[in-house]
Structures are given as structure tokens and as C-alpha cells.
Amino acid sequence: MMANFMLVLHDRLDGFSTLSHDEMMAMIKEYTAWTEKMLAEGRFLGGEKLKDEPGRQIMAGKSGIETHAGPFTETGEMIGGYMTISANDYDEAVEIAKTCPHAKYGRIELREIDQIK
């Protein structure tokens, strides 16, 4: 049975602001081609780009449930999006993730999804 894995896409905080319009369009074509290939292989399950802002954290605090801006990282990066793929095991998921264009432009955190059913 195939397992599902999440590719958490980490971006630099400066994003892609240094890319020209043509470079940005070429990069988008790269991501699109990769996604179409994964769809054709039945491996791509979904994904989204996140807005370029830090979001909010909701957590228990001294006065109950608190909301804070963030998360802010010390590493100079933020989560820019996610993709979900299927693979036979972690080794295969790693090999698939290595082919994702984001591996060249940022950092990919790979996590197996624990299907609770």
C-alpha cells in the first residue's frame, strides 16, 4: 500500500525578489511540468502556495488560548507552501522529492502523513 508524504516547502525570506520576470516564468514552468508529471504518474495528491507573510500562531498561554504573529524563524526562511505525494516508502519519497524544482530554490522538509482512519 502506498503511503502519503508531505513536502513542506521552505523559502528564503527574500523570496524570489531577485529574479527577473523571465526567470520567474521559467521557474513557474518548471514547477508546472513537475506537477503534471507527478499527476500523470498518480503520485501528486495536492498542494498550495502559501502567501508571503508569517501567518499566526495559536497556542495555550497563561490567560487561555493566545494568538501571536508568526512563526518567525531565526534561519531567514519561511514555509512557502506544501505538496502531498504518494510513494511506497520514505526512500522512494526522498527520490521523488529530489526531483521537485523546489529542491533547487529552497529547502524541502519531507514528512510521512499518519493516516488516522
- CATH of residue 106's domain is 3.30.70.1060
* Domain-embedded: residue 107: yes
Domain ranges, residue 108: 3-50+77-112
* Domain-embedded: residue 106: yes
* Domain-embedded: residue 15: yes
What per-residue confidence (pLDDT) applies to 73?
57
* Domain-embedded: residue 55: no
Domain count, the chain: 1
* Percent of the chain whose predicted confidence (pLDDT) is above 90: 58
Give how far Cα 16 sits from Cα of 4, 39, 66, 77, 105, Å: 29, 26, 32, 12, 9
For the stretch 74-113, pLDDT in tens is 566 788 899 999 999 999 999 999 999 999 888 899 999 9
pTM: 0.83
Is the per-residue pLDDT at 64 higher than 60? yes
